Structure 1
Amino acid sequence: MPPKAIGPYRVLETLGSGGAGTVYRALDRRSNDEVALKLLSTGGPSLDDRAARRLAREFETLADLSHPNVVKVFEAGVHAGQPYLAMELIEGLTLRHYLDVSFNDLHTPTPTPASRFPLTLRRTADDDFGSEDGPDDDADDASEDDGTFDLNAFAEEAPSEDLASFHGAGDDDSDSDGMPGVDPRRAAPRAPQPPRPATPKMADLNRPERMGKLKDAMLQVCEALAYIHGHGLVHRDLKPSNIMVDDDRQVRLMDFGLAKFLADDAGITADGKLVGTYRYMAPEQILGEPLDGRSDLYSLGVILYELMSGRPPFDAKTPHELWRQVLETEPPPLLALNLHGDPQLARVAHRLIRKEPDDRFQTAEEVYEALSE
Structure 2
Amino acid sequence: MIEIPGYRLLRQLGRGGMATVYLAVQESVDREVALKIMSPALLADPNFGERFLREAKIAARLHHRHVVGIHDVGRAGDYHYIAMEYLGGGPVLAKDGSTREPAFALRVIREIAGALGYAQEKGFVHRDVKPDNILLRDDGSAALTDFGIARALDSTLRMTKTGAVVGTPHYMSPEQARGKPVDGRSDLYALGVVLYEMLVGRVPYQADDSLAIGIMHITQPVPVLPDGIGALQPLIGRLLAKQPEDRFQTGQEVAAAIVEIERRLESGGLPELHALQPMTASRHQTPLPESFGAAEPAPAAASGAAERAEPSLGRIDQIVAALDGDAIRAERSPAPSGRTPRPGTPRGGLLAIGAIAVLAIGAVFAWSNQDRLRALLPRTEFNDTLSRAQRALEAGNLTGKQGESARELFLAARAQDPDNDVARRGLDAVGRQLLGRAEAALKAGDLVGAREALNDARELLGGGAEVERLDASLKQGESRGDEVGEWLASARSALDAGRITGSGGAAELYQRVLAGDKDNALALAGLQKVADALAAQARSALAAKDVTTAAARSDDIARILPAYAGLPDLLGQIAQAREAERVALEETVTRAEAQLRAGRVSGSEDAALELFRAVQKLDPANARAKAGLRKVAQAFVVQANAAIDDSNAGVADKWLTQASELAPDLPDLRASRANLRELRERLAIGAERSAPTPAQIEQVRRLVAEAGTAAAAGNLIVPPGDSAYDKYRAALAIDGNDREALAGIARLPARAKELFAQALTDGAPQRAHALLDSVRQIAPDDAAVPSMTEKLVNAFLDQADARIGEGRREDAVRALSTARGLAPGNPRLAPLEARAQALAAKP
Any residues of structure 2 matched to 1:96-175 within 5 Å, and which?
Answer: 96-97=93-94
1:298-337 matches, within 5 Å, as 298-334=189-225
**Following the alignment from structure 2 to structure 1, what is the Cα–Cα distance between the partners of residues 223 and 51?**
45
CA–CA separation in structure 1 for the residues paired with 2:86 and 2:202: 31
**Cα separation, partners in 2 of 1:240 and 1:58, compared to 1, 3 Å:** closer
Higher helix share: 2
1:71/1:355 CA distance change after superposition, 3 Å: same
Amino acid at match of 1:273: V
Mark the runs of 5 or more structure 1 residues left unpaired by the alignment: 98-181, 183-195
Pairs within 5 Å for 1:211-230? 211-230=102-121
Match of 2:71 in 1: 74
Separation in 2 of the partners of 1:43 and 1:369? 45
**CA offset digits 1:83-140 (Å, max 9, x no partner):** 321101111132113xxxxxxxxxxxxxxxxxxxxxxxxxxxxxxxxxxxxxxxxxxx
CA deviation after TM superposition for structure 1 residue 290, in Å: 1.4
For 1:9, the aligned partner's letter is Y
Decide whether the 8 Å contact of 2:128 with 2:151 is kept in 1: no
- Deviations, residues 204-254 of structure 1 (Å, cap 9, x unaligned): x6xxxx222121111111111111222111111111121112231211111
Of 221, 229, 232, 1:341 maps to 229
Output the amino acid matched with 1:36: A
2:282 equivalent to 1:284? no
How far 1:9 sits from its partner (Å)? 2.3
Contact 1:7 1:78 in 2 (8 A): no
TM-score (norm: length of structure 1) = 0.61
- What TM-score does the superposition give when structure 2 sets the normalisation length? 0.28
Indicate if the aligned counterparts of 2:22 and 2:35 stay in contact, CA closer than 8 A.
Answer: yes
Distance 1:15 1:296 in 2: 26
| Sequence identity percentage | 37
| 1:311-361 per-position Cα deviation (integer Å, ceiling 9, x unaligned) | 321111221221121122224322xxx112142x22111221122212211
The residue number in structure 2 matching 1:245 is 136
Aligned partners of 1:257, 1:295: CA distance in 2, in Å? Answer: 14
| Corresponding residue SS for 1:333 | coil
Name 2:241's counterpart in structure 1.
354
Say which SS state the counterpart of residue 150 (structure 2) adopts.
helix
Q: 1:81: Cα distance to partner?
A: 4.6
List per-residue Cα deviations over 1:48-102 (Å, max 9, x = no partner). Answer: 3x873564244223323221111100121124555321101111132113xxxxx
Q: Deviations over 1:151-197 (max 9, x none)?
A: xxxxxxxxxxxxxxxxxxxxxxxxxxxxxxx3xxxxxxxxxxxxx35
Mapped contact 2:42–2:49 kept (Cα < 8 A)? no
| Partner SS, residue 224 of structure 1 | helix
Alignment partner of 2:114: what SS? helix
Contact 1:13 1:25 in 2 (8 A): yes
Q: Is the 8 A contact 1:244 1:253 kept in 2?
A: yes
Q: How many residues align?
A: 255
Q: Find 2:11's aligned residue among 13, 35, 47.
A: 13
In the aligned structure 1, how far is the partner of 2:223 from the partner of 2:55?
41
Shift of 1:304: 1.3
Provide the secondary structure at the position in 1 that maps to 2:238. Answer: helix
Structure ranking higher in strand proportion:
1
Q: For the aligned residues, what is the CA RMSD?
A: 2.8
Aligned letter for 2:81?
Y
The question of 1:90 aligning with 2:87 is answered yes
1:236-294 alpha-carbon deviations (Å, 9 max, x no partner) = 1111121112231211111111126859xxxx9xx75334x321111222222212111
Question: In 2 relative to 1, CA 369–89 (structure 1 residues): closer, same or farther, beyond 3 Å?
Answer: same
Q: 1:197 to 1:284 in 2, by over 3 A?
A: closer
Distance 1:212 1:251 in 2: 14
Task: Within 5 Å, give how 1:9-48 maps onto structure 2.
Answer: 9-41=7-39, 44-48=42-46
Task: State how far apart, in whole Å, the 1-side matches of 2:41 and 2:208 are.
Answer: 25
8 Å CA contact retained: 2:127, 2:148: yes
Show the counterpart of 1:367: 254
Retained in 2: the 8 A contact 1:93–1:246?
yes
Aligned-partner Cα distance in 2 for 1:321–1:43: 33
1:321 to 1:212, Cα distance in 2 relative to 1, 3 A: same
Task: Note if contact 1:52-1:78 (Cα within 8 Å) is conserved in structure 2.
Answer: no
Residues 43 and 240 from structure 1, CA distance in 2 versus in 1: closer, same or farther, beyond 3 angstroms? farther
Contact 1:234 / 1:296 at 8 angstroms: preserved in 2?
yes
Higher relative CO (CA 8 A, sep ≥ 6), structure 1 or 2? 1
What 5-or-longer segments of structure 2 have no aligned partner? Answer: 261-843
AA in 2 matched with 1:361: F
Question: Residue 41 and residue 348 in structure 1: after superposition, are their counterparts in 2 closer, same or farther (change >3 A)?
Answer: farther
Paired letter, 1:229: Q
Q: CA deviation at 1:36?
A: 0.6
In structure 2, relative to structure 1, the CA distance for the partners of 1:340 and 1:42 (3 Å cut) is farther
Secondary structure of 2:109's counterpart equals helix
Residues 127 and 186 in structure 2, CA contact (< 8 A), matched pair in contact too: yes
CA pair 30-372 structure 1, distance change in 2 beyond 3 A? closer
Q: In structure 2, do the counterparts of structure 1 residues 41 and 285 end up closer, same or farther at CA, with 3 Å as the change threshold?
A: farther
Is residue 33–residue 86 contact of structure 2 (8 Å, CA) maintained in 1?
yes
Q: Secondary structure at the match of 2:75?
A: strand
| Counterparts in 2 of 1:286 and 1:82: CA distance versus 1, 3 Å | farther
| Displacement after TM superposition at 1:33 (Å) | 2.2
- 1:351 is matched by which residue type in structure 2? R
Displacement of 1:44: 4.1
CA contact (8 A) 2:186 2:244 kept: yes
The answer to whether the 8 Å contact 1:52/1:81 transfers is no
Give the whole-Å Cα distance in 2 for the aligned partners of 1:298 and 1:51: 28
Partners in 1 of 2:61 and 2:206 — Cα distance? 39
